[in-house]
């Protein structure tokens, strides 16, 4: 709420928690409402400056037959309910990327290995660069096999591509790297990675056209 009250052009978006008690103040459109909720006594005890009530925009929509509600500070005058639904699922895909970095690349480690500030930055940049390399190569391989990049298991792709890149880095002749990359993207490992992803039932991006805003 402090960001909402003080900052400009900075907004938040969170999923609704089950059992949330709210009062409708204004109907902004199909599945789009301005709500008022109580600020919990616990929160007000920690921060006495908080008001007794706070207002939030609630957008309810349906995707793949399931109803979802998102709370946000994005104004209805600027962002439609459809845009809010699309934006939330784009944000969710970013969170899945962070999950892949933590679980597949870091083996669920609670902390980084670096001990100094400079090395922490270096390690973070290295993780982000490695993540994007794996994603790019997995996407290229998926397209070559007429599969969607989201179908590929990131964990399997990370292990497979990393092992090949280590071999390439130690190659005597760097001139063979382009050919090795082409072989990597054209190998049959993509089919295995897709089967593993389907088995794990990884949540894939939903076509924004599939969103259906709930009527009142």
pLDDT at 192: 62
Kindly tell me if the per-residue pLDDT of 204 is higher than 50.
no
Kindly tell me if the per-residue pLDDT of 203 is higher than 50.
no
Find where tokens 């039932």 sit.
201
Kindly tell me if the per-residue pLDDT of 209 is higher than 60.
no
CA atoms of 134 and 94, how far apart (whole Å): 15
CB 213, CB 32: distance < 8 Å: yes
Could you say which DSSP state residue 212 is in?
A: E
pLDDT > 90: percent of the chain? 10
Average pLDDT over all residues of the chain = 79
pLDDT at 141: 79
The alpha carbon torsion through 105, 110, 112, 117 (nearest 10 deg) reads 140
The end-to-end CA distance of the chain, in Å, is 27
Report pLDDT digits (tens) over 12-55.
Answer: 888 888 878 888 888 888 889 999 988 888 988 998 888 888 88
Neighbours of 51 (CB within 10 A): 11
More confident residue, 192 or 147: 147
For the purposes of burial, counting CB atoms within 10 Å of the CB of 127, is it exposed (0-12), middle (13-18) or buried (19 or more)? middle
pLDDT at 3: 45
Report pLDDT digits (tens) over 155-188.
Answer: 888 888 888 777 777 776 777 777 777 777 666 6
């Amino acid at each position: 709420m402090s960001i909402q009250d003080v900052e400009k052009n900075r907004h938040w978006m969170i999923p609704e928690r089950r059992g949330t008690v709210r009062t409708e103040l204004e109907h902004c459109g199909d599945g789009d409402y301005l709500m008022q909720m109580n600020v919990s006594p616990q929160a007000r005890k920690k921060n006495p400056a908080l008001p007794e009530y706070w207002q939030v925009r609630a957008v309810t929509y349906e995707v793949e037959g399931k109803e979802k509600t998102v709370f946000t500070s994005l104004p209805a005058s600027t962002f439609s309910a459809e845009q809010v639904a699309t934006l939330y699922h784009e944000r969710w895909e970013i969170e899945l990327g962070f999950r892949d970095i933590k679980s597949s690349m870091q083996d669920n480690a609670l902390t980084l290995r670096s001990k100094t500030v400079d090395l922490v930055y270096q390690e973070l940049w290295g993780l982000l660069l490695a993540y994007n390399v794996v994603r790019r190569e997995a996407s290229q391989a998926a397209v070559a096999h007429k599969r969607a990049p989201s179908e590929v298991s990131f964990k399997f792709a990370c292990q497979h591509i990393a092992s090949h890149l280590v071999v390439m880095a130690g190659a005597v002749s760097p001139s063979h790297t382009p050919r090795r990359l082409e072989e990597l993207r054209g190998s049959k490992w993509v089919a295995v990675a897709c089967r593993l992803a389907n088995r794990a039932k990884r949540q894939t991006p939903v076509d924004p056209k599939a969103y259906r805003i709930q009527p009142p």
